Structures are given as structure tokens and as C-alpha cells.
Amino acid sequence: MLAQPHYKNDLSAAINRKDFATVKKLFEHWLPLDLAPILAELPVEELAALFRHTTEEIAASTFAYLQSGAQKKLLRLLHTSQAGALLNALAPDDRTAFLDELPPDVAAQMIALLSPEERQVTQTLLAYPENSVGRMMTLDFVAVRPEWTVRESLDFIRSHGYDRETLNIIYAVDEQGRLIDDVRVRRFLISPPETPVSALLDGNYAHLSPTDDRETALGIFRKYDRIALPVTDDAKRIIGIVTVDDMLDVAAEEATEDIQKLGGSEALDEPYTTISLSRMFRKRAGWLMALFIGEMFTATAMGFFQNEIERVIVLALFVPLVISAGGNAGSQAATLVIRSLALGEFKLRDWWRVMRREIIMGLALGVVLGTVGFLRIEIWAGLGFDYGAHHILLAGTVGIALIGIVLWGSLAGSMLPLLMKKAGFDPAASSAPFVATLVDVTGLIIYFSVAYLIMLR
Amino acid sequence: MLAQPHYKNDLSAAINRKDFATVKKLFEHWLPLDLAPILAELPVEELAALFRHTTEEIAASTFAYLQSGAQKKLLRLLHTSQAGALLNALAPDDRTAFLDELPPDVAAQMIALLSPEERQVTQTLLAYPENSVGRMMTLDFVAVRPEWTVRESLDFIRSHGYDRETLNIIYAVDEQGRLIDDVRVRRFLISPPETPVSALLDGNYAHLSPTDDRETALGIFRKYDRIALPVTDDAKRIIGIVTVDDMLDVAAEEATEDIQKLGGSEALDEPYTTISLSRMFRKRAGWLMALFIGEMFTATAMGFFQNEIERVIVLALFVPLVISAGGNAGSQAATLVIRSLALGEFKLRDWWRVMRREIIMGLALGVVLGTVGFLRIEIWAGLGFDYGAHHILLAGTVGIALIGIVLWGSLAGSMLPLLMKKAGFDPAASSAPFVATLVDVTGLIIYFSVAYLIMLR
């Protein structure tokens, strides 16, 4: 993707032959920000060697690009003093993200390496709840005063702004540092130098609270197409900003969590390819066991109908077909509703609209499957399969049961996520397998009840 | 979220009493960009009334914020001349997005309303494949020449740049308009006015091709934390840029598609709450029917074992328990692998690493479930449930079958998405219900074969 593909190789070669003069030359003119993603692709061993000879700024922005696994490995390769310097040079939000991944005791050791100021900042950020906006704030922002002119502001930025990553939006604050407005930097570029900043203000800005959930923030970014949003404390003082590039990661992580839960396991919270087998086992075994225990009721339910099965053995043949149809209809409905909820397409109080849709949908789908099921048995019977003398009754049983079960599956699948949310759980936990299990048990009861009414009375 | 919550109501009131002087006052100092998300929340009728009295710029940026449903409704409320003016004022990428949603003939009518230049631009963009970068480019970007100074560049921007939404990154081009480099606008702010632009260049930039898939673009944005990426043609001429805020929408849409497919239906491509029931039926019935037909083989499979079932009726009681365990293990594995693939955590050629993990995982999970299954039967038997004289054999059958089936489920679930991808299909199509169906049929065969070996010989 980058302009010079060979660049990385040259770099790697120079590092390996310890030729740091060449490395230095290769770094000329480059912004640490632009180097970081390239360097992040080098093996940690090379990075460790490199970090001993490069500026802290480059080391820090590269470190921020690494996966937490590589970060830990790299820090272990550095001397404590280097590690400390690196940690101190990290942007506060990157540091928080890194410390988050560590066991508390290790994190504490790391924090001990920080300078008093940096330590204080870090502890403030770490004090915010997990997945909150506060955890992902950057403290890098430029604030100007409304009474300044554009020229004064630009001079101020020239003298202070160099290391600000986030100079796309400039914030106007009053003497107490309370946020007055946000101004896109382009307004400064295109306004005559003598314009007072106040003339650029429209008093219209979105802002976040450090305790907001990061999903909330994501929604606001999506809605207002902002590049960055200011974070204000209770006194409306601006204490940091959140940038949209972090939001891309949040979006990916949130989707991954939902998808993994929908698949019927806990969210892994780390890449499938690198998570330890024991941790993955724990994340998967829990749900699998819960589903298994739930599914045991199918054996109990079928036990009740053992005599019916003995009388009409062929009933048993269609058990998997009938109950799985309900499970599939249910997992469709659940997934659609869960995603719709996550995107905020409707509120809990609209549950009735959803239910109405699913009743219609469940009936329609049930009639279709029921008809096909009926025909399947009649045709096979016609072809000479031995479904007993009363195959027409069997066909009717399967057909009618399918209508009821698919309808019930769609209803259960669509309402369960809403109940989950109502009860304060994550709707995504009402996964396809979860709904299927629920519907299997009830489906059996529906199936054999219909069979009893039609064939066995 | 916005500074003035009452603002929207005042606006709404003024519009309804046709007091457009007040509206005009309310708009003072506001950038169309900032107004848009607020106005977009008004009912389309009010917007139609408003658009007759507001600038095209405001109308256009508001229109871009509306959902495609509202957009269509709104255009119908406007006179053709107004509709034409609005369409001409739209940003090219917003226009393409809108036209994309229309039936071809309607789209053609709309395009006919465009000025020759705009029509040409639109047709160029629409010529790019769906979901390609070309479709979502904006043509709003600022390009300067390396030999200019910072002051010259800023003057140029002041005189031309006003309506550029995307003035966060400035592009240096040669006399043929070929891209030389991208420069963050802050570099211009913080550099002395006499600095030549060439001094700000590091020759390092990422760029996209208009035919790149939007998912590819998303990956690059995520990797390089860019706010915008330039799009270049084969001659490396810059023809547009893609901005990160569009990427947030792409991320959401891609996740929605995957989630809906994983739930066992087609991607709806529109909100669950607004899609017509008939369209939703088509999206859901197809997969449900396919799964149903696949599941029919369970009836066939069980038919083969009818005699075994007649001899040991209790075998039937545990069919749903045993096969669902395989289905659940399979949908776990499938979901984890699909998401991991989507995030690019591993490549197809790593299939063996995945298979190894799933063999271990499947065995471990299978042994756990198998043991529990075994105990379940023995304990119930101990409690006096009638599982026949040979309940220990039954327990053994269920236990061993579970190990085999869970292992098989994990394997099938993890490999199926890879095969899908290999075959050029969307891995997400190998959904939880799909895997479950596949494993149900094979699970039955495993179960009854084990039963045959242990109990029925």
C-alpha cells in the first residue's frame, strides 16, 4: 500500500547489520506518525534493537501500533530504563490501552516506572470505567480563546502545536477552560488573519462525558460525521478529545463481541489465532455446557412421549427435521432483532411492532415449510417408503406442527433479545444456539401434542 | 447531545408557521455541515417546505444526512425544478449513494435532471463497481504544488478552499496532477510561511484505487489511522479522496451483513424496522427452505436406523441432545473463524493451524460433554428412569457419540468457512444454522453407528 515497498526491507536489513547511521538516514523527513505503521510490521527483536537507537517519539508511536501481545514481548526485551522512557513517551490513551491488557500487578510495576506527572495522568484515565470514553481520551488538543484573532491563534498553534496529533478541530474555551465551541481548523485557514476567533463560532457542538460508554460515542460519531469530539467534565471544562480513528477500532471490537456471542460462545477479547487454547476452552465450554444442559430437557420431553413413539415409531424419524426448522427460524429472527437493536433502529417500547412483524413472518414461513414437509412425506410414501398405513395423518402432523413451531421460533427468537435487554443483559447473548435450544424443547412438545391430537387419540 | 436542544423545536415551529425570516435568523453563523444533522431530524414535510426557502448548500448537506427512504419521499414532495437544483447541489458521492438506492429507471430520470458537468461526474462514479472505493469518493480535495511556499498554498486555499469539506489533508501533485505526497494540514499551520511545500513532503503516503473493494479501504484506514486517503487512477493522478467518516458507515454495514448471514438469512440491506414484509420474507425464506431441505436428510438417515430404534426405543430420546451438541460446537467454531477471517487475522494458507486448534478444542469439549452425558443417563437410571436393562451401554453410546460429534462439529464448523472462501463465496454464508444442519445429519450417523457397535451387534 505504501509508496515504497522496499523501504521496510532496507530498514530491516540495516537494523540487522546494526547500521544505525543508515537507519537514521532512512528516517529523515519522516514523521513518527507515518513511520509507526511501517515499523510496527518488523519483528519485535528488531524493534527492541532499533528502539535503543531511535528517538522516544518514534519508539512511542510505533509501540502504540503493536498488538498487545507484541507490546508485552517487546517491553521484556528492553532494559527497565528504556522501558520506563518508552512508557513515559507514550500518548496517555495508548498507555492506558496497553496497561489495560496487563495483569494488575504487572500494570502496577509499569506505572511505577512513570514520572509523577505521567503517573498521575495515567491513574486518572485508568479511574474511568472500562469501555468508557475516559479510557480512550487523548489529552492532545488545541484550545484558543474567542477574543484572540486568527493570526494570534495560528501563532499560538505554531509555537505549541507541533506535537498535537489532533489539530483538525480547534476548541474555543473561556478563562476557566470551559468549552465554548469547536471550530474546524479549515475555518482558521480560510479566514483573514485579523478575524476574531469569536466570529468563527456558531455555538453548535457535540460533546462527550468521560463516563459515556464507548458505544454511545460511536453512535454520535456516526451521526454527526465528526473527526473528533471533545470530552468535558461536569463543569463543562474540556479535559480531552476522542478521535474518529479510535472509533474504527471500537466499531470492529463491538461487532466482534456481538458476532462471537451470537455464535454461542463468550467474546474472546483477543484474536482467535493468538488466544491460548486453555482460555479459548473456558470461553467456549461455559456456553456449550449451558446449552447442553438446556438441551437435556429434550430427552426428558421425549421421555414423556415414549409410549407414543413406541406406538408410531415413524414419529421419531421427523423429530430432528421438525425441531431444527423452529431453531433456524428462531435464530434468524433473533439475529435480525439483535443487530437492529445494536444499530438503535428501534427502542424497547416498540416491541409490539417487532412482535407483529414476526407473527406475520412466522406464519408465512411456517405455512411454506409445513406444506413442503407435508408433501415430502406424502411423496416418499407414494414412492413406497413405509411410513405406516396412516402416512397422511403423519404428513398432517408434521405439516401442522411445522407451522406452530416456526411461528413459535420466530416469536421466541425476536422477543428473547428484547427481554434480555429489558433485564439489563446483553441482547447478543440470546444467540442462535441459545434460541435453537429453547425452541427444540418447546418444539418437541408442540410436535408430539399435535401428533397426539391427530394420530394417537 | 447538541449545545441547544430547544433549537430544533424553535426551527420546527418557525417552519410550520411559515415564518422563514426567523428560520433565516436561526441559520445565521451556522455552517451547512453543522445544520445538516439537526435538520435531518425534522419530518420530511417540514424539510420540503424549508428547502423552498433555504440555500441549495444547506438543502444538499441536509439531504445527504437523510435515510434513503426519507430522501425518496422528500424528492417527491419537491417540484421537479427544485429537485433538480437539489440533485445538482449534492456532493457527488452523496448523489451516487442516493441514486444507488433507486430503481434504474427512476435513477435515470434523476440523472436527466443534472447539469451536463454533474451528469458526467455522476456517470463516471456510477461506472465503478458496487461497494468499490470509486462509488464513495468525494471529489472535494485540495491539491498544491511542491514548488509553492506555505504562504502561497494558504492563499490558494483561502481563495479556493472554502467549500472543501475535507481540508484536513492537503495533496501535493506534479504538473500532470500525479500524486506526490499527502501532507496533514497542521504541517502548513505550524511551518513558517516561507517554507517551500517540498520541505513538508516525506514521499510516504497510502493511496487507494477506485476499483478497490470498500472492505479493503476499511482495512487500510484501520491500519494507518488516516482521516482521508487519496484515490488515484492508473496514471497515479489523484481523482478523489475517501474520508474516514464514510468508513464508520462501511464498518457498520459490513458487520450487519455478516451478522445477518451468520443468523441464517440473507443480508437485508435495509433496516429491519422499515424493510417491507414481502422483501423480508424473500430474504429469510430462501435460506430457511435450503436448511429445511438439508435437514430432511435427518429423516432419511433415521429411516435407515428404524429397526435399531424399534429395538432400543430409548435411543430416540437422546437424538436431539446428541446432534444439537454437535451443531452448537460447530456454530461456535464457524463464527469464531469467520470473524477472524473478516478481521484478516489469518490467511487461507494457515488452515492447518486452525484445524489443529479445533481438533484439540473439539476433543476437549467433546470429552467434557460426553462425560456429562454419560453421567446424566446413569444418574437418571439410578433415580429409576426406565432406560432399559442395558442403560450403562446406552450411557456409553451417548458419551462416546458426543465426543465424536462435538469433534466433528468443531472441525466442520471451522473448515467450512475456509472452503467457502477458497471457493470464492462469502465465508459468512456458512452460518450457525447451516453448520448445525450439516452436523445434524452426520451426527445421526455417528450416533447410530456407535449405538450399533456398542448395543446392537
pLDDT per residue as tens digits for the range B306-343? 888 888 888 899 999 999 999 999 999 999 999 888 88
Q: Which of A171, A373, A324 is nearest to B331 (CA)?
A: A324
Contact A281 B255 (CB under 8 A): no
On chain B, the residues whose CB falls within 8 A of the CB of A140 are none
- Model confidence at B384: pLDDT above 90: no
**CA gap A356, A364 in Å, rounded:** 12
Cell numbers standing for residue A447:
410436535
* A225 → closest Cβ in B2, B245, B258: B245
- Note the pTM of the prediction, 2 decimals: 0.81
Q: How many CA atoms lie within 13 A of A360 on its CB side?
A: 11
* Residues A237 and A311 reside in one and the same domain: no
**CA gap A29, A35 in Å, rounded:** 10
Q: How many domains does chain B have?
A: 3
Lowest mean pLDDT among A117-131, A238-252, B149-163: B149-163
Contact A157 B190 (CB under 8 A): yes
Q: How far is A30 from chain B (nearest CA, A)?
A: 5
Is residue A380 domain-resident? yes
Q: How far is A449 from chain B (nearest CA, A)?
A: 16
On chain A, the residues whose CB falls within 8 A of the CB of B313 are 306, 309-310, 313
| A38-to-B50, B74, B324 alpha-carbon distances in Å | 50, 47, 46
**CA gap B333, B345 in Å, rounded:** 15
Phi/psi region, residue A29 (left: phi>0; alpha: psi -120 to 50; beta: rest), is: left
Beta bridge partners of A143: A171
Select from B102, B127, B152 the last residue of a domain.
B127
* Residues B28 and B161 reside in one and the same domain: no
Asked if B195 has any chain A CB less than 8 Å from its own CB, the reply is no
Cβ–Cβ < 8 Å for B417, B341:
yes
On chain B, the residues whose CB falls within 8 A of the CB of A225 are 33, 37, 245
Per residue in A237-265, pLDDT (tens digit) is 999 899 888 888 888 888 888 888 888 88
- Name the closest residue on chain A to residue B236, using Cα atoms: A3
Is residue A306 domain-resident? yes
Is residue A137 domain-resident? no
Select from B101, B127, B153 the last residue of a domain.
B127
Asked if A1 has any chain B CB less than 8 Å from its own CB, the reply is yes
Average pLDDT, chain B: 86
Is residue B162 domain-resident? yes
Angle at CA of residue B366, ends B362 and B368, nearest 5°: 125
Cβ–Cβ < 8 Å for A370, A415:
no
Output the pLDDT for position A27. 81
Contact A189 B184 (CB under 8 A): no
- In the stretch 57-86 of chain A, residues with CB closer than 8 A to chain B read none
Asked if B268 has any chain A CB less than 8 Å from its own CB, the reply is yes
Output the pLDDT for position B447. 94
* Residues A287 and A430 reside in one and the same domain: yes
CATH of the domain at B206: 3.10.580.10
Cell numbers standing for residue A64:
502504540
Contact B317 A325 (CB under 8 A): no
Quick one: average pLDDT of B136-161?
A: 84
- Model confidence at B189: pLDDT above 80: no
Asked if A335 has any chain B CB less than 8 Å from its own CB, the reply is yes
- Model confidence at B1: pLDDT above 90: no
Output the pLDDT for position A168. 78
CATH of the domain at A353: 1.10.357.20
Cell numbers standing for residue B331:
456454530
- Model confidence at B418: pLDDT above 90: yes
Range picked from A266-275, A401-410, B159-168 for highest mean pLDDT? A401-410
Output the pLDDT for position A253. 87
| B92-to-B69, B75, B141, B214, B236 alpha-carbon distances in Å | 19, 17, 13, 17, 21
* Residues B285 and B392 reside in one and the same domain: yes
Cell numbers standing for residue B20:
422563514
Select from B100, B127, B154 the last residue of a domain.
B127
* Residues B195 and B287 reside in one and the same domain: no
* Residues A301 and A450 reside in one and the same domain: yes
What letters, b where the CB count within 10 A reaches 16 and e where it falls short, cover B314-337? Answer: bbbbbbbbbbbbbbbbbbbbbbbb
Asked if A296 has any chain B CB less than 8 Å from its own CB, the reply is yes
Contact A157 B204 (CB under 8 A): no
Q: How far is A95 from chain B (nearest CA, A)?
A: 17
Asked if A379 has any chain B CB less than 8 Å from its own CB, the reply is no
CATH of the domain at A17: 1.25.60.10
On chain B, the residues whose CB falls within 8 A of the CB of A370 are none
The domain in which residue B368 lies consists of: 277-456
- Model confidence at A455: pLDDT above 90: no
Is residue B24 domain-resident? yes
Q: B238, B324, B372: best mutation site toward chain A, by most A Cβ within 10 Å?
A: B324
Contact B299 A289 (CB under 8 A): no
- In the stretch 208-247 of chain B, residues with CB closer than 8 A to chain A read 218, 220-227, 244-245, 247
Contact B4 A306 (CB under 8 A): no
- Name the closest residue on chain B to residue A341, using Cα atoms: B272
Is residue B271 domain-resident? no
* Residues A121 and A150 reside in one and the same domain: no
Quick one: average pLDDT of A384-389?
A: 77
Quick one: average pLDDT of A216-227?
A: 84
Per residue in A298-356, pLDDT (tens digit) is 988 888 888 888 888 888 999 999 999 999 999 999 999 998 988 888 888 889 999 99
Contact B272 A345 (CB under 8 A): yes
- Model confidence at B266: pLDDT above 60: yes
Contact A316 B309 (CB under 8 A): yes
Is residue A236 domain-resident? yes
Confidence bin at A164 (pLDDT 50/70/90): low
**CA gap A224, A184 in Å, rounded:** 14
Lowest mean pLDDT among A26-40, A246-260, A408-422: A26-40
* Residues B120 and B164 reside in one and the same domain: no
Confidence bin at A162 (pLDDT 50/70/90): low
Angle at CA of residue A159, ends A155 and A165, nearest 5°: 105
* Residues A295 and A436 reside in one and the same domain: yes
* Residues A300 and A239 reside in one and the same domain: no
- Model confidence at A376: pLDDT above 70: yes
Output the pLDDT for position B419. 92
Output the pLDDT for position B192. 82
Share of chain A above pLDDT 90, in %: 28
Cβ–Cβ < 8 Å for B95, B66:
no
DSSP category for residue A455: I
* Residues B216 and B306 reside in one and the same domain: no
Q: B200, B204, B280, B363: best mutation site toward chain A, by most A Cβ within 10 Å?
A: B204
Q: How far is A128 from chain B (nearest CA, A)?
A: 21
Cβ–Cβ < 8 Å for B197, B172:
yes
Asked if B389 has any chain A CB less than 8 Å from its own CB, the reply is no
Is residue B135 domain-resident? no
**Which run of H or E residues covers position A259?**
helix A244-262
Q: How far is A132 from chain B (nearest CA, A)?
A: 17
Quick one: average pLDDT of A174-188?
A: 87
* Residues A440 and A302 reside in one and the same domain: yes
Does ipTM come in above 0.95?
A: no
Asked if B169 has any chain A CB less than 8 Å from its own CB, the reply is no
- In the stretch 390-409 of chain B, residues with CB closer than 8 A to chain A read 406
